[in-house]
Amino acid sequence: MRHTLPIAPQFYVTAPQPCPYLEGRMERKLFTALQGDHAQRLNDTLSKQGFRRSQNVLYRPSCAECSACLSARIRVADFTAARTHKKISRRNADLVRNATSPWATEDQFSLFRRYLDARHADGGMADMDIFEFAAMIEETPVKSRVIEYTQTLPDQTSLLAAVCLTDIFDDGLSLVYSFYDPDLADCSLGTHIILDHIAIAQEMGLPYVYLGYWVPGSRKMGYKAGFSALEIYKGGRWQEIGDPADHRAELHPLSVDPIAEQVARINLPDTRAVRD
């Protein structure tokens, strides 16, 4: 299926496939290509409307059965670390952050494979090889960084503990994909990465950290609701998450708008105003 707005880009819908978050449901995605001279502005604009990037594609869930996947972001200025967050930061105080250009390495891929085998062995990325991994990291038409977290061992060698592929928007940072050493699960490295990105956004003067999707009813995504100053994109606007239980209505089929209406409401950047 193809749906076209009065001006580029064109939007498409994927075929249904099993939902990775809610058992027994099917998912489909609304997506468009991310390419050309205006890729960065398109990424900035659509990300503010609940889209996410995967390589050179921007997508947003557009399922026929529900609209449970809600884009989430943290308001950096209003964030207050919970007691557990402070403990996690202290526990990982020895980690060293290193931000690099989006270039894949063998060490990253080795850590990525160990992470998948331990935590997502039956997921959609389980069969990803080193070439596909390199494409995930390197095929980016927008401003991105790979942020590595290393730990110095007693013999003074460095251990790669965690990695995050991060996009830089005009209003924030977006955690595109992160993974970590499964042997360090007790260190809550996933949460540490988010906390550190909040610190980076503060340093850069950026107001938001985008976390991807929060899904009511999914245990896998429930941790995101534990961050203060969390907003979700719902009903065409960003709003406070409030009580997570209040969003269960999005699990109902009648909560889904027709595809044509969804596309018609998408705001696009005015690329005609840009001059090289």
Quote the percentage of the chain above a pLDDT of 70.
91
Which parts of 128-241 are beta strand (E)? 144-152, 158-168, 172-180, 208-214, 230-234, 237-240
Angle between helices 130-138 and 106-119 (to 10 degrees): 110
Q: Give the burial class of 54: count Cβ atoms within 10 A of its Cβ; 0-12 exposed, 13-18 middle, 19 or more buried.
A: middle
pLDDT digits (tens, 9 = 90+) for 19-78: 888 888 899 999 999 988 889 999 999 999 999 999 999 999 998 888 889 999 999 999
Q: In the predicted model, what is the mean pLDDT of residues 150-172?
A: 91
Q: Per mean pLDDT, which range of 22-26, 178-182, 206-210, 268-272 is the poorest?
A: 268-272
User: Rounded to an integer, what distance in angstroms lies between the CA atom of residue 108 and that of residue 103?
Assistant: 10
Q: What is the CA radius of gyration of the chain?
A: 19
Q: Which CATH code fits 76-208?
A: 3.40.630.30
Quote the percentage of the chain above a pLDDT of 90.
67
Q: What are the sequence ranges of the domains in the chain?
A: 2-72+213-273, 76-208
